[in-house]
Structure 1
């Protein structure tokens, strides 16, 4: 049996399967299946096809087409020319596919390693060919970008492998295109980098986080900034928003840095906020039961825009109890939440107390005294 190469519709380079007809002819003539050396050559051919970006289907179709007999010269050694052909072809195709798939897996691992390295360099501000490497992932760093960070209720593994980064990225790429959004797992967080002009991207990211994460997740969203340094700044703002939410006991699952700008301002002047908390709230330390119930009452009243009934429902106590606690606060501190000016001072002092973790942590002025 002679095999005719001309019958194959060659869709791959001619040299890729150059010895294919000879191997199959030998199998038909001798009845022996291809050996290890021949199969290793097929694996290498499959790997090369993957590296060249050739479709696996085209590779297999070509190998099968080249096996079609053009003529039958007579029976093989075992009396049937086709007896060894199908088993040999099965081994050959299996080796081609194995080589192809191994090369693909290696390429995926290399791409993921390159992505992790790029994301680390980007978010830490390391600038080694950053703009050039960013283009490979579809980012144009001369534009403005916003970063959103998602934290699961239960911390993920050290490498972030448990986070559904690829699944969420695939969903966002389907909607926004492959050159707009980058999703990566880093330090147990899920990070989304998107153009500042693509305002819907962070909302879509949050939507998929809500579906993928167990209750208790939280998302921080930075502000848009330009350039590689802007990505770093937005990333830090997103992380700081989550941290501020924890420290302040905020209930919102999504926290935007733009909505929390007052808190970094307060923290920049530590001495002033320390003095405010000491002056306004330290008298609450004398209250029976400690200051925490009174601080919680103030927080509930401020959150309810002064509605004492709503605050009472939130606290699980009676409206009369809220009124009584507010009167105790007024007597101890001299400040009343009913007075607009005093209310602002009280609210700022309470926020400062949460930022400084007071009264659990003593203030600097208390330590000095």
Structure 2
């Protein structure tokens, strides 16, 4: 066989295998490198436990009084953390934990008068809210988000405009991400009452952006720029800068694309090095990104440059990171989520001083 025919055969096999693993977007990664490769390790000034002995904590939100609310995915508990003590506030009995579903994100309205939770119910993923003094009196404000054993999205957060932003997953239906009539594979923008927010890019619909595989983190910098982390399939995880109406490419693109119809991420990682979940913008102005499979935190500038890694392999899987009122960063471990290796005292909330 000639060298030319051998080369053609090799390329054909690579493309076919890569296509089977993830389609057109995935095979690009076989011929190019992610934008973040060997991020140097750095050490925070200090690391300490806030609380221990949690079970698969997923969401965290601070209240105006400085206390924090934390969700546990599989127990469906909402916990209040004050000082070094965690106490149960309520159990969201409507949640149906299974696979990656359960009690997921939590957000506190800017005035502190409402608490919002995102959870997997019998037939869908939905959002309910309650008053802090009446945690068992919950009202569903939004429903109909597709559910599945994985790709349930789940992160919710209030933006600088006072609207509620929601990250959803494609729930295993890849084509839903490109279908603006579907709630799967989207970032949604809602009023606090759960209606499509005024000024949304596609009219009277909650869809803010589309073409997402599984949005796991939402955050804003001091100038109001929005960022989201996203699980890739086999090749690229993403950090995206979010702008209204944009198409982020899934399932046609995973990572960067040369198609001008798609908005490229500001940074990508190989999935073994990241598998990102929650993000935050810290007091240092950097995006902080918690990683599950990668078992580390990344910090990165808002233009996608200057990545550094913290806690690499030191505390197992990391689910979420949030900026605390005292200027520290709180990190949730996720070693009881069925994919980790729990150590004594897991799961825990870590406090990092900068």
TM-score (ref. length: structure 1): 0.19
Which structure shows the higher strand fraction?
A: 2
Which structure shows the higher helix fraction?
A: 1
TM-score (ref. length: structure 2): 0.19
- The higher radius of gyration belongs to 1
User: Whose relative contact order is higher, 1 or 2, with alpha carbons under 8 Å and at least 6 apart?
Assistant: 2
